């Protein structure tokens, strides 16, 4: 049967006494049912309390369908049925949830008043909270800023937060943001004269205790807008962390704090230009290298040019680009390699030649890597392989032997 929730009557009660009704097992853990509790169970978008029962840690509090509250424990509770149990709420966790939840009511009402955006659903997370708005498009930065200012104005006005139960008749007189999800008597959380919500959660007693309300992100979500926000200590913790990051960036970029974004964008733009210039220089260098290699190419009977090039330091990318440059001509077969512990070979040919690059590669690999540690393959036009150790002499010998085979 339904467990009376002391936290509904007084959210500030941190300790309580209750009688042990039942000991059960929940998800493999010992668990206790009491005749009343100050623990808030996970419900209504608010996470549960943590704390202790007779000193044993309560790490989860579940609300069963019939209203029974189950306290999930980290160890056995040494108490007999009917005995009095002493409960303590982890107050910093609870107060944090109270700040976030009351802040959510204020922020939802501020979105409704300032931007005519209604809240579809809410979630109080362990780090960040979200409000999902019925919004046809993403609210602008200016709108979000105005909503945030409105919400914080309500905080600084220090409005009392009233919690009461309203009957059906009284309910129809209240400007509720959303119709209640339960029938009959409904628990109302009123931010005096500002917001009326049907809600079973725990709340602070005045809006000043919410502390700052900060929207940290707004994004598209399921056809609406998802607003991520933090309140109170969480907002301050976020500010401290962001401040540290900005200060570190400011020092690294030698820019005043408010200018770090512009300084970072400037550096990114410079880096983009430098990459572009570097690529232009590399391309020129490759053209030079290609010309020099073509001068040394071996001509075969069909006037095809066989180019061999071995480089100890080249990256695979560089070899590939060189192969590309060389085979832009109509008469080239390029045999390029990197020597070393992780050798790499590329064989490429001009588009309309009839040689099979993959077959040539297989020939070279079978000679160089007899233990079959080499992996490779490709098309008739471009093939590559590597993954074995080969020094420059061995590569030189193997590639030139292949050329000799086709040119004599
Ligand atoms: Zn609520």
Query: Tokens 């962001």 sit at which residue?
Result: 242
Residue 137 CA to ligand 1 centre (angstroms):
25
User: Mean per-residue pLDDT for 188-205?
Assistant: 95
Residue 198 CA to ligand 1 centre (angstroms):
7
Residues 61 and 72: beta-carbon distance below 8 Å: yes
The answer, yes or no, to whether residue 76 has pLDDT greater than 80, is: yes
**Regarding predicted confidence, which is higher, 405 or 40?**
40
Question: What is the reported pLDDT for 173?
Answer: 85
Q: Is domain 289-407 in CATH 3.10.310.40, yes or no?
A: yes
Domain ranges in the chain are 6-89, 95-250, 289-407
Residue 105 CA to ligand 1 centre (angstroms):
6
Strands across the sheet containing 186-191: 161-166, 186-191, 195-198
In DSSP terms, which residues pair with 380 in a beta bridge? none
Please state, rounded to an integer, the average pLDDT across all residues of the chain. Answer: 94
Residue 189 CA to ligand 1 centre (angstroms):
7
User: Mean per-residue pLDDT for 202-224?
Assistant: 97
Residue 200 CA to ligand 1 centre (angstroms):
7
Under DSSP, is residue 136 helix (H, G, I), strand (E, B) or coil?
coil
Residues 133-181: pLDDT tens digits? 999 999 999 999 999 999 999 999 999 999 999 987 788 888 888 877 7
Residues 4-45: pLDDT tens digits? 999 999 999 999 999 999 999 999 999 999 999 999 999 988
Residue 1 CA to ligand 1 centre (angstroms):
24
Residue 199 CA to ligand 1 centre (angstroms):
4
Residues 351-392: pLDDT tens digits? 999 899 999 999 898 888 766 667 888 999 999 998 888 899
Residue 220 CA to ligand 1 centre (angstroms):
23
Residue among 357, 361, 359, 294 nearest 331 (CA): 294
CB atoms within 10 A of CB 202: 25
Residue 218 CA to ligand 1 centre (angstroms):
21
Question: What is the reported pLDDT for 172?
Answer: 82
In the chain, pLDDT over 70 holds for what percent of residues?
A: 99
CATH of region 6-89: 2.40.30.130
**Distance between CA atoms of 123 and 143, rounded to whole angstroms?**
22
Question: What is the reported pLDDT for 372?
Answer: 62
Residues 297 and 329: beta-carbon distance below 8 Å: no
Q: Which two tokens stand for residue 334?
A: 């390029």
Q: Which two tokens stand for residue 216?
A: 């940290």
| Alpha helix positions (H), 13-164 | 91-115, 141-156
Residues 233-267: pLDDT tens digits? 999 999 999 999 999 999 999 999 999 999 999 99
Residue 102 CA to ligand 1 centre (angstroms):
7
Residue 196 CA to ligand 1 centre (angstroms):
10
Under DSSP, is residue 372 helix (H, G, I), strand (E, B) or coil?
coil
Q: Spell 291-319 as b/e; 16+ CB within 10 A means b.
A: eebeeebbeeeeebbbbbbbbeebeeebb
Rounded (10°) CA dihedral 143, 144, 146, 148: 170
Q: Is domain 95-250 in CATH 3.30.980.10, yes or no?
A: yes
Residues 259-293: pLDDT tens digits? 999 999 999 999 999 999 999 999 999 999 999 99
In the chain, pLDDT over 90 holds for what percent of residues?
A: 86
């Amino acid at each position: 049967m339904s467990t009376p929730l002391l936290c509904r009557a007084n959210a500030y009660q941190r300790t309580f006494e209750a009688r042990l009704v039942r000991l059960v097992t929940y998800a493999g853990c010992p668990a206790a049912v009491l005749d009343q509790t100050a623990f808030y169970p996970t419900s209504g978008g608010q996470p549960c309390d943590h704390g202790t029962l007779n000193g044993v840690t309560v790490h989860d509090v579940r609300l069963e369908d019939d209203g029974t509250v189950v306290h999930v424990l980290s160890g056995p509770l040494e108490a007999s049925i009917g005995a009095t149990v002493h409960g303590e709420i982890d107050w910093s966790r609870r107060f944090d949830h109270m700040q976030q939840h009351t802040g959510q009511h204020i922020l939802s009402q501020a979105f409704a008043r300032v931007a005519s955006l209604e809240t579809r659903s809410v979630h109080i997370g362990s780090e960040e909270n979200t409000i999902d708005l019925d919004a046809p498009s993403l609210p602008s930065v200016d709108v979000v800023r105005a909503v945030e200012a409105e919400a914080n104005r309500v905080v600084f006005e220090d409005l009392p937060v009233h919690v009461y139960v309203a009957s059906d008749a009284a309910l129809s007189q209240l400007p509720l943001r959303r119709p209640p999800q339960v029938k009959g008597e409904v628990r109302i959380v009123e931010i005096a004269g500002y917001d009326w919500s049907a809600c079973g959660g725990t709340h602070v007693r005045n809006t000043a205790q919410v502390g700052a309300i900060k929207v940290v992100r707004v994004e598209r979500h399921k056809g609406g807008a998802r607003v991520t926000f933090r309140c109170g200590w969480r907002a301050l913790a976020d500010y401290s962390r962001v401040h540290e990051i900005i200060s570190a960036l400011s020092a690294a970029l030698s820019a005043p704090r408010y200018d770090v974004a512009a300084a970072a964008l400037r550096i990114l733009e410079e880096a983009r230009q430098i990459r572009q210039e570097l690529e232009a220089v590399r391309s020129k260098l490759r053209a030079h290298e290609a010309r020099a290699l073509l001068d040394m190419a071996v001509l075969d009977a069909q006037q095809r040019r066989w180019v061999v090039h071995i480089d100890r330091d080249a990256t695979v990318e560089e070899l590939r680009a060189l192969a590309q440059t060389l085979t832009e001509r109509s008469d080239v077969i390029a045999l390029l390699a990197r020597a070393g512990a992780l050798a790499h070979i590329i064989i490429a040919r001009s588009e309309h030649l009839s040689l099979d690059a993959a077959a040539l590669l297989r020939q070279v690999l079978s000679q160089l890597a007899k233990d079959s540690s080499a992996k490779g393959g490709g098309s008739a036009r471009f093939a590559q392989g590597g993954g074995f150790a080969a020094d420059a002499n061995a590569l030189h010998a193997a590639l030139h032997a292949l050329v000799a085979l086709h040119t004599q």
